[in-house]
Amino acid sequence: MIALVHVYALAGLLFAVLAYLSLKDSEHPRRWTTAAFWALLALAFLAGERMPAWSMGLAVLGLATLAGFGGVKAGRLKSREAAAREASARRFGHRLFLPALCLPGFTVLASLGLPRILIAGQPLVDPAQGSLIGLGLGSALAFAYALRMTGEALRPALDEARHTLDSIAWAALLPLLLAMLGSVFSKAGVGTTVAQLITENLALDQRLPAVLAYALGMALFTVIMGNAFAAFPVMTAGIGLPILVQRLGADPGPVAAIGMLSGYCGTLLTPMAANFNIVPVALLELSDKHAVIRAQVATALPLLACNVLLMYWLAF
């Protein structure tokens, strides 16, 4: 059975190659620290579950130090000239879309179709992790296909990928670090403390104030935690269930659904949701770190107001 560990091994392999290529790149401005960063990340992906947890904790501190103090930077890229790219664009035309479409196509296939194929009674792909496995295998397939179709050589392709990966390394690391901060917050009881503070200090025996407190609380809490899933159990146990549903008799269906979507409005507003709001800034090479959040404010705030009204109307 193809499981998530195999995809992690694939990623580990890529990071190990990046470490090796950085090490060999004598013109790289941060050669050693960049190589160390990718090597540590390769270790975490290749052997993370077999290493003692405290040593992985140390590795995380190492990764953060390397990325946080500017140790990982992109080197000089010998990119192809614009004229060569234009010519190749005319030569391949729409065929250039095929490898790019290979990824979503394969991801859907791996989450819906492949787990149903049984080999010796075992599903071909772990059914619980279909789309992540599809993402990994589809990416590898797209790479191989793109190389074959265009006749591009491996080394310049990897160098170009390394240039992008070096420049977004810190942003790519951030979602993992934020998930880690979320674990620390929940183990330290930050969520329950905040919910307690809210419920103890607000007299919520009328519909509108209770709806406001729950919807805005979900949004605010999601801004803090970066994840509506982390906010939901805390806010619903604090306000949604005991006050809205049990005391005021609201319909639990709309309370939960619209409450969660109020949290999603918070996701649009926070740098803590790094994979949605910070990673694209790096991918699109935008100069303002908060450019994506800025582009979302004018959608998130009116939508949050809509959620409050919808919950008030639909839940009662």
CB of 129 to another protein, least distance (A): 8
Both tokens assigned to 4: 């998530």
21-80 binders of another protein (CB under 8 A): 41, 44-45, 48-49, 51-61, 64, 67-70, 79-80
Select from 27-35, 120-128, 156-164, 203-211 the region that touches another protein (CB under 8 A). Answer: 156-164
| Footprint (CB under 8 A) of another protein, residues 225-264 | 228-229, 232-233, 236-237, 241, 245, 252-254, 256-258, 260-261, 264
Nearer to another protein, 121 or 265 (CB): 265
CA distance 270 to 123: 39
Compute the distance between CA of residue 66 and CA of residue 308 in angstroms, rounded to an integer: 43
Footprint of another protein on 176-215 (CB under 8 A): 176-185, 187-190, 193-194, 196
C-alpha distances in Å from residue 252, one per residue of 125, 210, 270, 311, 315: 36, 14, 27, 10, 7
Query: Is 238 in contact with 198 (CB distance < 8 Å)?
Result: yes
Taking the C-alpha atoms of residue 244 and residue 258, their distance in angstroms, rounded to an integer, is 13
Task: Give dist(CA 3, CA 133) in Å, integer.
Answer: 7
Binding mask 79-118 for another protein (x = CB under 8 A): xx-x--xxxxxx-xxx-xx-xx-xxx--xx--x-------
- 3-state secondary structure (DSSP) of residue 272: coil
Q: Considering only residues 264 through 293, tell me which ones interact with another protein, judged by CB under 8 A.
A: 264, 267-268, 271-272, 274-281, 283-284, 286-289, 291-292
**What separation, in Å, do the N-terminal and C-terminal C-alpha atoms of the chain show?**
49
167 binds another protein (CB under 8 A): no
| Residue whose CB is less far from another protein, 4 or 23 | 4
Q: Min. distance of Cβ 28 from another protein in angstroms?
A: 17
